[in-house]
Amino acid sequence: MRDRGFGGPNVCALVGISYRQLDYWARTGLLEPSLAPATGSGSRRLYSYGDLVELKVIKRLLDGGVSLRAARRAIDFLRQNLAGDLSSVNLVLDGKRSILARSGEEIVDLLAGGQGVLNIVPLGSVLRELDAAIVELDERRPVQAGETADPAGSSEGGTPRLDREA
C-alpha cells in the first residue's frame, strides 16, 4: 500500500537527505507535506508517496550538481505536467524551459537543436529506488502507528500531486 503517510524522519531516511533540508524545504515552500502540514511545535508533518517522489527527484538533481534554485523550478514544472506513466519518462531541463521526454531519440533531437545545457533525470530509476527503499524500511521497522493517511479532513482540493500510475 502506498496510500499511507510518512513522518519527517522516515522521509529523510527514505530519500537520503538531512532533516534540516526537509524542514527548510517545507518552510520555504519547495515541498510542503500534502497529507498534513506542520501546525506549530509538537505537530507532525505527514508526507504522501507522491511527495516522496518529488523529494527524490530533488535529491537526484542536487547530487547531479544542480543548484537548489534550479531544482525549485524543475519541481514547479513537474507538478504541472503529470504525464500518466512516470516510470518511462525522462525529466529534461535546459535552464529555461523544462520538458518530459519519453524516448531517447527525443533527447537526441533536443541535443541537436538546443544550444544550452541539458539536465536529464530518468524518472523510472527514481521510482524503482524509492520503492526499494520503502520495502527495506518496512522490513526493518514494520509499519508504525500514526502513518495511516487520513488526518480527519481527507477531501483536499489543493495542488495536484504526483502519483504512481504504472
Partner DNA sequence: CCGGCCCACGACAACCGTGTAACTACGGTC
Partner DNA sequence: GACCGTAGTTACACGGTTGTCGTGGGCCGG
Question: Can you give the binding site for DNA, defined by CB under 7 A?
Answer: 7-10, 18-21, 23-28, 38-45, 62, 67-69, 72, 145-146
User: What minimum distance in Å lies between the beta carbon of 22 and its own copies?
Assistant: 20
Report what 146 binds from DNA, its own copies, none; CB cut-off 5-8 Å by kind: DNA
> Which residue reads 495542488 in cell numbers?
159
Grid cell of 38 as nine digits = 506542520
Stretch that binds its own copies, among 28-36, 47-55, 81-89, 104-112 (CB under 8 A): 104-112
Stretch that binds its own copies, among 48-56, 86-94, 135-143, 157-165 (CB under 8 A): 86-94
- Cβ-contact 95, 22 below 8 angstroms: no
Grid cell of 54 as nine digits = 518529488
Of 105 and 139, CB closest to its own copies: 105
User: Which one of residues 11, 14, 55, 93 is an interface residue with its own copies (CB under 8 A)?
Assistant: 93
Collapsing DSSP states into helix, strand and coil, what is residue 151? coil
Of 12 and 74, CB closest to its own copies: 74
Counting every residue written for the chain, the total comes to 166
User: What minimum distance in Å lies between the beta carbon of 115 and DNA?
Assistant: 20
Q: E strand or H helix at 46, and its extent?
A: strand 46-47
User: Which residues have C-beta within 8 Å of that of residue 153, sequence separation ≥ 6?
Assistant: none
User: Which one of residues 11, 15, 26, 66 is an interface residue with its own copies (CB under 8 A)?
Assistant: 66
Grid cell of 70 as nine digits = 534550479
Collapsing DSSP states into helix, strand and coil, what is residue 136? helix
Question: Which of 102, 82, 83, 79 lies closest to 92 in space, CA to CA?
Answer: 102
Residues within the interface to its own copies (CB under 8 A): 60-61, 63-67, 69-71, 73-74, 90, 93-95, 104-105, 107-108, 111-112, 114-122, 125, 129
